[in-house]
């Protein structure tokens, strides 16, 4: 799926789902036919935000880690979500858009990517190096998205990254907000960019 | 040629130092602006370029840039801001404060080396 598909509103909607390990596995796998309702949006003002983030993820992984990644699918969870990976970094956005962004990796992928960034064998990295690397990735992804938004006339500030280790950690922002999860594929693994916006950004679909 | 890298992310410091040393440059590193000033006091006369992040704890890149450009001993050293924050107002702010260039993350090794070459004269004529 390309970022153009996002602008057509091809987002899978998950309502009132119990955020179990099965759901996490299902979201991260190629098979999306179980356990949840599906509806598409004719147009979402969030689609521009998602397109910016999609581009940022692929650009950052490509240039910083030297690896290709591709966007697979996007989900919208009606209720609060959990971090989908084992090594995650979160960042707050504020200003014209108020949101929490997370990049969430399986541990093995986090280690591989950080090895690529540091230019050393992944096995030689300490846990703090991996936390540092994942924090830097979310910093760069948020920074690039901020640049896109500011160029579009929207003022956004980004906070400092925070790293979280562990599976199934809660991911929510300002109460019972909905949450997008964009699933990407890289080096044989799937990882997620998750975002909880508090309000849709009023950017139209036209340039 | 010797480059001072100022960056709070250890893994990004390793990455940029690797890019620079692969092109034959010598490097010194610092985790924040305060450490950078300490490195300058120690190595100042031999540093030809400073590559610095903006958002850092203890002392950020902008404050450090102001201190470097306000000093008599180090103001001649070109400073390249390398940061994930690429908004126009920050770029303008950095240039007005005396930054010689601005590199927005993410960047490739080729981007970094090209920028280094554009800022430092091969005969080191920028040194006092």
pLDDT digits (tens, 9 = 90+) for A111-142: 999 999 998 999 999 999 999 999 999 999 98
Does residue A114 belong to the interface with chain B, where contact is any CB pair within 8 Å?
Answer: yes
Query: Per the CB < 8 Å rule, is A119 touching B105?
Result: no
Cβ atoms A57, A184 nearer than 8 A: yes
Instruction: Return the structure tokens found at A136.
Output: 């830097």
Q: Chain centroid to CA B119: how far?
A: 11
Report yes or no: B94 and B64 within 8 Å, Cβ to Cβ.
no
- A119/B15 touch (CB, cutoff 8 Å), yes or no: yes
B-chain CB neighbours of A129 within 8 Å are: 10-11
pLDDT in tens, B50-109: 999 998 989 999 999 999 999 999 999 999 999 887 777 888 899 999 999 999 999 999
Q: For the segment A64-92, what is each residue's pLDDT rounded down to a tens digit? A: 999 999 998 888 887 767 899 999 999 99
SS3 A128: helix
Q: How confident is the model at residue A43 (pLDDT cuts 50, 70, 90)?
A: very low
C-alpha separations of B62 from A148, A150, A194, B74 in Å: 22, 20, 31, 15
- In the beta sheet, which residues pair with residue A74? A182
Cis preceding linkage at B2, omega within 30: no
Q: What is the C-alpha to C-alpha distance for residues A159 and B100, in angstroms, rounded to an integer?
A: 26
Q: Is the pTM here over 0.90, yes or no?
A: no
| Angstroms from A38 CA to nearest CA on chain B | 35
């Amino acid at each position: 799926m390309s970022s153009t598909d996002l602008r057509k509103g091809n987002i899978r909607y998950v309502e009132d789902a119990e955020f179990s390990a099965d759901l996490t596995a299902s979201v991260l796998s190629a098979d999306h036919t179980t356990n949840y309702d599906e509806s598409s949006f004719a147009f979402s003002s969030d689609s521009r935000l998602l397109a910016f983030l999609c581009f940022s993820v692929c650009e950052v992984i490509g240039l910083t880690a030297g690896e290709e990644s591709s966007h697979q699918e996007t989900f919208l969870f009606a209720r609060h979500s959990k971090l989908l990976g084992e090594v995650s970094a979160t960042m707050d956005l504020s200003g014209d858009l108020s949101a929490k962004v997370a990049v969430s990796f399986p541990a093995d992928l986090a280690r591989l990517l950080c090895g690529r960034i540091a230019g050393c064998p992944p096995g030689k990295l300490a846990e703090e190096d991996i936390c540092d690397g994942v924090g830097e990735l979310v910093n760069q992804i948020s920074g690039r998205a901020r640049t896109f938004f500011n160029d579009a006339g929207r003022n956004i500030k980004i906070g400092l990254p925070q790293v979280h280790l562990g599976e199934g950690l809660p991911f929510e922002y300002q109460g019972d907000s909905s949450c997008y999860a964009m699933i990407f594929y890289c080096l044989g693994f799937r990882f997620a960019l998750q975002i909880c916006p508090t309000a849709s950004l009023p950017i139209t679909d036209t340039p | 040629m010797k480059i001072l890298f100022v960056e709070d992310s250890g893994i990004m410091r390793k990455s940029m130092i690797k890019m620079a040393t692969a092109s034959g440059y010598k490097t010194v590193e610092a985790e924040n602006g305060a450490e950078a000033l300490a490195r300058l006091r120690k190595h100042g006369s031999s540093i030809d370029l400073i590559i610095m992040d903006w958002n850092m704890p203890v002392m950020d890149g902008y404050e450090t840039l102001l201190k470097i450009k306000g000093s008599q001993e180090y103001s001649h050293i070109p400073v390249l801001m390398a940061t994930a924050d690429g908004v126009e107002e920050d770029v303008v702010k950095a240039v007005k404060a005396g930054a010689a260039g601005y590199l927005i993350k993410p960047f490739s090794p080729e981007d970094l080396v090209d920028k280094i070459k554009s800022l430092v004269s091969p005969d080191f004529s920028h040194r006092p």
